[in-house]
């Protein structure tokens, strides 16, 4: 019999819309209320920025993985929270607005509609009733509210407390009202108290060098600069000081490192975060720069007064991780921006110093990194006194020392630091060895190469012979006792620059007080929570001012100004928040998206949080994940959430590259290369189930892998084979294949069924979807040729397949005689006993080389197996005339004869 065109076939174009409709009509995946006592599963995708170019094939990779976990979870009887939304503030919509005079909201919501259509076309089991965009007023109202929490919080680094998670910690974010006010501040009056409080808040204003990008018309966070250019667009960035909003993320640096330990994240992402935070321990040490004659009296005074919090203007304070090399400090360096530059510069050196400092200030970050290893610097003409040996050391200025790290000044030990070595060689500064390799006999005072490892002290007076680690601890303690230094910790992490000068972002709920002349006094007021949201003003032009003056400063006066009840004139803050703000807490809002009274009901929070599985691209390994963890910890400290970490398990999907060329080389997909695959086209040609299945079959989820249209065809063929295994391809209408019968499973069939259930189940648990799919292919290869295909086996496969290819699975489930969706059918179980074979094949080796395979009854004892092996003709001929030295038998796995002669 031949197929004809009108006979039913695997018709995804009919099946897929049908079931998408069904799920929508029946609200199959909506979760209304939390059922106490039932296991919960909160699975989250990194929500997309709804760009104008639509969904990319990289999106469905992670989304399919989470969808499989969710659908599987429902079949396992869990209550599943699986939401989707939009990270919708951001530059592209605003750039488009500038070009076309269209309000960014219009573009944004249009793009969202397109993204939603594309995601629904792929059959993801989201609870769409929870959808929101970060640009919704109902949402950013609470983003502003959280900002007010940050504004209302100071970090008490010494507070010891036990959180609702039962863990003891030191350091806590506390309400600003609980901040102790020093007596002298109190005495200076209310305004002084307010300014003091403002200086301690987690959200504070700060005049600091910023990264200004004139092309984008905004300042950018350090994290948004790549190679001295803007991460977005690659535009040049200049640095100059500007008053900006900052978030005190550095207060949480230690907790952001420590609390990574218990998370189920890949070590490499944890490492990237640890690296980014960059904690180092060492010591701060004071070098005396006053009149040399006063050195001894200064030391005596210090040993009584102790190490001061502020260094004072007769000392140069340095930070070092190697206090054990103090005796080898042959010069010092201060950053060109250091406040001591002027004071330490002698008249003879003034001209050279001025020139150098000016040149350094003109260098952009790009220049500084480009010239990386080429050291430059200038001598100030002054000397400091080394506190441990009283020696005079020259003080230099060089831009390899950064003002933003440590104290902006270093002691240089050229013998044991590569940068100092280079500098000393270039400027002919003495180099003195103070650390030697252990057991090394000849220690030259002037070494021929730099030695940066640990060893034992030499040329270090009474400390000679002390091992590095011991010496570090010892000298730090002694410096502390004599008031000359103390142990110190430093981080690479900087406070987070939180303001932008663009329009399309959340306005700050902040007012600045104005004096009679309309100038800002520096004092601030906040909008009360019931005045939120502070809605973006309607505007017609979106072009940046071209200066660091924020866009919103051109907003209507009615939005910009008001008079407080006490008569004080107020001006609104005109910066907006960066795009990160909205994505810092969306996972919380998904649990309670419609709540009008609260950002998240505490009971709901305890039910659904934390996120059990979070899947997204590795490009967010530091920024988004670090920021979100920081906000979460602040909310935790303030009692708004009950867990200290938001995301229990994190998985980063690997990037999907374009199709490989004839040389087998695959490149990143990009418009300019013309190798972008559009999901719409794939769905049109092969269907959503094939796209989903293919993306999971390509290889391990976390791995980078190239696209292959032939591969899509491969999984499409598999689905068509499953279809033909269960349906009758020769009938005039869709109906069951006559081979599918109510029949008992044969022993062999039962074995295949149970083996497949076991493998697919375990693979899903491991997120090893590619191997799960190959197991189902094996099942199909086994059953397709059979003339009797028991219905129960077909039902089992249908359920196993349903998380991966839900549309075809629902359709087959219906054909197999079921009225309901299979979304909540119990997941099949397996019986280990039914997987075992009666007779097993055992490989036989002679001297580790495979010679034969023998069949023995399962559970045979070693003697039986050995005997059977010797009976094998091939083995026997290999053993002939040899002496058997040893027989290795691994029950059920292998036999190895070790022979001699």
Partner RNA sequence: GCGAGUGUGGCGGAAUUGGCAGACGCGCUGGAUUUAGGAUCCAGUGCCCGCAAGGGCGUGCAGGUUCGAUUCCUGUCACUCGCACCA
CA distance 49 to 115: 9
Own/partner long-range contacts of 215-219 (Cβ < 8 Å, ≥24 apart) = 216/91, 216/502, 216/544, 217/501, 217/502, 217/544, 217/545, 217/546, 217/551, 218/500, 218/501, 218/502, 218/544, 219/244, 219/497, 219/499, 219/500, 219/501, 219/548
Q: Which two tokens stand for residue 705?
A: 């892998």
- Say if residues 497 and 210 touch (Cβ distance below 8 Å): yes
User: In sequence order, what are the residues at sequence separation of 6 or more whose Cβ sits closer than 8 angstroms to the Cβ of residue 516?
Assistant: none
Q: Which is nearer to RNA, 90 or 282 (CB)?
A: 282
> Over the Cα atoms of the chain, what is R_g?
35
Q: Which is nearer to RNA, 599 or 697 (CB)?
A: 697
Collapse the DSSP code of 701 into the 3-class scheme (helix H, G, I; strand E, B; otherwise coil) and give the result.
coil
Q: Which is nearer to RNA, 79 or 321 (CB)?
A: 321
| Beta carbon of residue 444, minimum distance to RNA (angstroms, whole number) | 22
Q: What are the angstrom distances between the C-alpha of 329 and each of 324, 385, 414, 618? A: 10, 10, 8, 42
Q: Which is nearer to RNA, 541 or 665 (CB)?
A: 665
User: In sequence order, what are the residues at sequence separation of 6 or more whose Cβ sits closer than 8 angstroms to the Cβ of residue 101?
Assistant: 540, 541, 542
| Beta carbon of residue 468, minimum distance to RNA (angstroms, whole number) | 13
CA distance 70 to 41: 8
H or E element in which residue 244 lies:
strand 238-247
Q: Which is nearer to RNA, 501 or 878 (CB)?
A: 878
Q: Which is nearer to RNA, 272 or 598 (CB)?
A: 272
Q: Which is nearer to RNA, 744 or 841 (CB)?
A: 841
| Beta carbon of residue 363, minimum distance to RNA (angstroms, whole number) | 9
| Beta carbon of residue 660, minimum distance to RNA (angstroms, whole number) | 6
| Beta carbon of residue 892, minimum distance to RNA (angstroms, whole number) | 9
Q: How far is CA 134 from the centre of its chain?
A: 20
| Beta carbon of residue 271, minimum distance to RNA (angstroms, whole number) | 4
CA distance 748 to 765: 26
Q: Which is nearer to RNA, 267 or 880 (CB)?
A: 267
CA distance 811 to 345: 83
| Beta carbon of residue 874, minimum distance to RNA (angstroms, whole number) | 7
Q: Can the peptide bond before residue 533 be classed as cis, meaning omega within 30 degrees of 0?
A: yes
Q: Which is nearer to RNA, 3 or 235 (CB)?
A: 3
Q: Which is nearer to RNA, 781 or 864 (CB)?
A: 781
| Beta carbon of residue 868, minimum distance to RNA (angstroms, whole number) | 15
Q: Can the peptide bond before residue 610 be classed as cis, meaning omega within 30 degrees of 0?
A: yes
If 0-12 CB within 10 Å is exposed, 13-18 middle and 19+ buried, where does residue 184 land?
exposed
Q: Which is nearer to RNA, 499 or 896 (CB)?
A: 896
**Residue in 686, 722, 688 with CA at minimum distance from that of residue 17:** 688
Residue with tokens 């050391």: 393
| Beta carbon of residue 879, minimum distance to RNA (angstroms, whole number) | 13
**What DSSP designation does 555 have?**
S
| Beta carbon of residue 880, minimum distance to RNA (angstroms, whole number) | 13
Q: Which is nearer to RNA, 337 or 680 (CB)?
A: 337
**Residue in 403, 396, 395, 239 with CA at minimum distance from that of residue 335:** 403
| Beta carbon of residue 768, minimum distance to RNA (angstroms, whole number) | 6
| Beta carbon of residue 231, minimum distance to RNA (angstroms, whole number) | 9
């Amino acid at each position: 019999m031949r197929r004809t065109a009108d006979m039913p076939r695997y018709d995804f174009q009919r099946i897929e819309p049908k079931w998408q409709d069904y799920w929508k009509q029946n609200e199959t995946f909506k979760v209304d209320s939390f059922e106490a006592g039932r296991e919960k599963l909160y699975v989250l995708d990194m929500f997309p920025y709804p760009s104008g170019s639509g969904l990319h094939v990289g999106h469905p990779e992670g989304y399919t993985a989470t969808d499989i976990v969710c659908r599987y979870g429902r079949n396992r009887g869990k209550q599943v929270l699986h939401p989707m939304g939009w990270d919708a503030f951001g530059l592209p919509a605003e750039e488009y607005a500038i070009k076309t005079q269209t309000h960014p909201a219009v573009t944004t919501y249009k793009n969202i509609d397109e993204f939603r259509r594309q995601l629904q076309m792929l059959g993801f089991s989201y609870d769409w009733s929870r959808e929101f965009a970060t640009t919704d007023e109902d949402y950013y109202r609470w983003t502003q509210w959280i900002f007010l929490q940050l504004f209302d919080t100071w970090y008490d680094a010494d507070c010891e407390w036990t959180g609702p998670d039962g863990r003891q910690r030191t350091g806590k974010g506390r309400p600003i009202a609980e901040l102790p006010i020093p007596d002298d501040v109190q005495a200076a009056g209310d305004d002084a108290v307010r300014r003091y409080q403002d200086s301690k808040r987690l959200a504070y204003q700060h005049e600091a060098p910023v990264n200004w990008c004139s092309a984008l018309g905004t300042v950018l966070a350090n994290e948004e600069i790549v190679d001295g250019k803007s991460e977005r667009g690659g535009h040049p960035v200049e640095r100059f000081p500007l008053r900006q909003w900052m978030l005190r993320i550095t207060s949480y640096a230690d907790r952001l490192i420590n609390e990574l330990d218990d998370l189920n994240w890949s070590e490499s992402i944890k490492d990237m975060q640890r690296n980014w935070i960059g904690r180092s321990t060492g010591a701060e040490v004071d070098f005396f720069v006053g009149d040399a004659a006063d050195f001894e009296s200064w030391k005596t005074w210090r040993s009584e007064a102790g190490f001061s919090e502020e260094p004072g203007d007769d000392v140069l304070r340095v930070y070092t991780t190697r206090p054990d090399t103090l005796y080898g400090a042959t010069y010092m360096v201060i950053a060109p921006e250091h406040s001591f530059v002027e004071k330490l510069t002698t008249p003879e050196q003034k001209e050279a110093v001025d020139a150098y400092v000016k040149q350094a200030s003109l260098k952009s970050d790009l220049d500084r990194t480009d010239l990386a290893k080429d050291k430059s610097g200038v001598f100030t003409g002054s000397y400091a006194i080394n506190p441990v040996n009283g020696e005079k050391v020259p003080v230099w200025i060089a831009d390899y020392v950064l003002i933003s790290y440590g104290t902006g000044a270093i002691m240089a030990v050229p013998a044991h630091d590569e940068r100092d070595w280079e500098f000393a060689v270039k400027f002919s500064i003495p180099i003195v060895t103070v650390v030697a390799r252990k057991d090394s006999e000849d220690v030259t005072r002037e070494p021929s190469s730099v030695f940066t490892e640990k060893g034992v002290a030499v040329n270090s007076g009474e400390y000679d012979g002390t091992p590095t680690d011991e010496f570090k601890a010892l000298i730090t303690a002694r410096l502390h006792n004599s008031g000359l230094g103390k142990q110190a910790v430093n981080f690479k992490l900087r406070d987070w620059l939180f303001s932008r000068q663009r329009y399309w972002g959340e306005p700050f709920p902040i007012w600045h007080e104005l004096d009679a002349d309309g100038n800002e006094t520096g004092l601030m007021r906040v909008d009360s929570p019931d005045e939120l949201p502070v809605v973006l003003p309607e505007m017609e032009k979106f072009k940046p001012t071209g200066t660091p003056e924020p866009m919103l400063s051109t907003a209507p006066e009615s939005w910009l100004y008001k008079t407080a009840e006490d008569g004080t004139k107020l001006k609104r803050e005109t910066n907006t928040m960066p795009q990160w703000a909205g994505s810092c807490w969306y996972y919380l809002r998904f649990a309670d998206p419609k709540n009008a009274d609260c950002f998240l009901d505490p009971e709901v929070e305890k039910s659904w949080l934390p996120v059990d599985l979070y899947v997204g691209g590795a490009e967010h390994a530091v920024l988004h994940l670090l920021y979100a963890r920081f906000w979460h910890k602040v909310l935790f400290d303030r009692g708004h959430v009950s867990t200290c970490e938001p995301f229990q398990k994190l998985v980063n999907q690997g990037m999907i590259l374009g199709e490989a060329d004839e040389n087998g080389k695959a490149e990143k997909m990009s418009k300019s290369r013309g190798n972008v695959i559009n999901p719409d086209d794939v769905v049109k040609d092969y269907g959503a189930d094939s796209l989903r299945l293919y993306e999971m079959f390509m290889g391990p989820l976390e791995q980078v892998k190239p696209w292959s249209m032939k591969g899509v065809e491969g999984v499409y063929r598999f689905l068509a084979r499953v279809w033909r295994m269960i349906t009758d391809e020769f009938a005039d209408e869709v109906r069951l294949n006559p081979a599918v019968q109510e029949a008992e499973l044969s022993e062999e069939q039962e074995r295949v069924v149970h083996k497949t259930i076991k493998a697919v189940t375990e693979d899903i648990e491991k997120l090893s979807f590619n191997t799960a799919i190959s197991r189902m292919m094996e099942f199909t290869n086994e059953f397709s040729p059979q003339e009797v295909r028991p219905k129960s086996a077909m039902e089992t496969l249908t359920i196993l397949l349903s998380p991966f290819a839900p549309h075809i699975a629902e359709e087959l489930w219906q054909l197999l005689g079921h009225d309901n969706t299979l979304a909540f059918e119990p997941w099949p179980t397996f019986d280990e006993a039914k997987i075992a074979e009666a007779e097993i094949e055992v490989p036989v080796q002679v001297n580790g080389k495979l010679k034969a395979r023998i069949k023995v009854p399962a559970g045979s004892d070693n003697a039986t197996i050995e005997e059977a092996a010797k009976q094998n003709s091939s083995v026997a001929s290999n053993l002939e005339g040899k002496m058997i030295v040893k027989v290795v038998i691994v029950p059920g796995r292998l036999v190895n004869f070790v022979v001699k002669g």
